[in-house]
A and B are shown apart, each in its own frame.
Chain A
């Protein structure tokens, strides 16, 4: 079975927040819930600024799953980490364990009690047989229809890639090889000497990781 992964090419991401908007639109998430976010580091510093789109990474050994007191997470055959909102008690432990800040909570109830956790499903819905209910609780199930996550599909620069880990890193490797030969084509790559070398290493890492 394929192992699904995201890949964000920070050389390409332009902080347009298209992925964020696409996600919000595809999944009709509640007010205040943003499954994907773009983090811009060194904002405004020419040559240093870099933007990265982050959502749930669907970790291989997911910390959220390990700490959840009700065991509502489950891994799918595609290597996704989905969860069951019926069992979620809104304790927030997944948020405290997740390195990527992926779990989101609607504010609900007295004294700041959290509602049920929501996070990126890789547009694969959740454990609900009825499609209408599934859409209402978990958002779109595009994977079922043979479509890829909307955030990546809508990315205007194709910085954000989603799909089979192997394919995604192959695409990236190709890009890096291409960039490596014409360093000047990409503004940021000129700033650091030896970046093409680093990028090559990184591409290898990505391939390794995809194989693991």
Chain B
């Protein structure tokens, strides 16, 4: 997750809201077809004599004694299984597609209609450090794991619909095994990165009055002139808090699902997996907005997270308050090159004035 939102931070909000609305649409596509199986019918067939009274008991999860040690073995019937299937297959799966597709389409449309935010003044050639090496390391560590986990997660949810038909059986099996193992083993590493990121950046992310005005101006889209912004603008802060809350939800649910050896009940796992899937899909849909704003959407933004430095013009345009606080630390491109060539002693840490 790149950490720039510049002017159009509002856009990720819109994308997120859009995604959210679409998400709650009844499933249009019902890829799995038909209504869920009826446990009652199956039971009556297998255990004739199942009367309505009896079924009520069974449905309430009646338990007995058994010699089986399998988790949940003492429960005769777990009707929640069918509810879980329904939630997963008829809501989360199609909902996720709608959220991701809607977010991507919205961004594309925005890009075509409005286009990227250009620098209003030519570059001065003087650079200001915005993201320290540590910031960038954490950012790209989390970002790459996010992409890998997102990809493998999507495969676990959707690949059977489009990949299985075109892959030979053995390749399909290997692919899915790899997807699951990569997802399960990298998950905890992502959790560590996310924690580090939250701790490292949380102090920049308290909302203040400047942010309110920034929101009122829609991040620069409403009215004239750019709204003021400090080190981080309102949109970036919103993204930070989305990543924090939704991200932690996904991480915690992911860890519960990843370690089934603590005797979690099937019902716990059902809820956990739903929360995990919904949270992850929301994050992914929102991350499209973040990625757009940080790359193609804003001229001069990407170099900040790539090199650590942004151009003075960019800083002034997008984060004027921060710029005024740190402008005396701006250095020439040549000096920057020299510094970099010298060694990685970027030493002074000019980003911290917020």
* A contact residues vs B (CB 8 Å cutoff): 5-11, 17, 20, 32, 34, 37-43, 51-52, 54, 57, 59-63, 66-71, 84, 86-87, 89-93, 95-101, 104, 107, 111-114, 165, 169, 172, 176, 198-199, 201-203, 205-206, 209-210, 212
Bound-state CA distance A57–B89 (Å) is: 21
- Nearest CB on B from A120, distance (A): 12
Specify the main secondary structure of chain A where it touches its partner.
Answer: mixed
Which of A7, A69, A111 has a CB less than 8 Å from the CB of B259? Answer: A111
A182, chain B: closest CB distance, angstroms: 17
Determine if A37 and B70 form an interchain contact, defined as CB atoms under 8 angstroms apart: yes
Q: Are B42 and A99 in contact (CB-based, < 8 A)?
A: yes
Which residues of the partner chain A approach B79 to less than 8 Å between Cβ atoms? 99
Please name all residues of chain A whose beta carbon is closer than 8 Å to the beta carbon of B36 when the two chains form the complex: 61, 63, 66
CA distance A91 to B38 in the complex (A): 23
Q: Are B64 and A43 in contact (CB under 8 A)?
A: yes
Which residue of B is nearest A37, CB measured?
A: B68
Chain B, 199-214, contact with A by CB distance < 8 Å: what is the 0/1 string? 0000000000000000
Are B34 and A61 neighbours in the complex by a CB distance under 8 Å?
A: yes
The CA of A52 and the CA of B70, in the complex, are separated in Å by: 16
Does any Cβ of A come within 8 Å of B114's Cβ? no
CB contact list, B48-70 vs A, under 8 A: 48-51, 62-70
Chain B residue contacts of A34, Cβ below 8 A: 67-70, 73
Contact B156–A91 (Cβ < 8 Å): yes
Given contacts A41-B62, A43-B64, A69-B159, contact A172 B48 (CB under 8 A): yes
In the complex, whether B222 has a CB less than 8 A from a CB of chain A is no
Checking A8, A71, A86, A96 against B81 with a beta-carbon cut-off of 8 angstroms, the contacting residue is A96
C-alpha spacing A17/B73, complex, angstroms: 14
B226 within 8 A of A: no
CB atoms of B45 and A91 under 8 A apart? no
Contacts A/B (CB < 8 Å), 8 sampled:
A34-B68, A39-B65, A54-B76, A70-B173, A99-B78, A100-B78, A165-B45, A205-B45
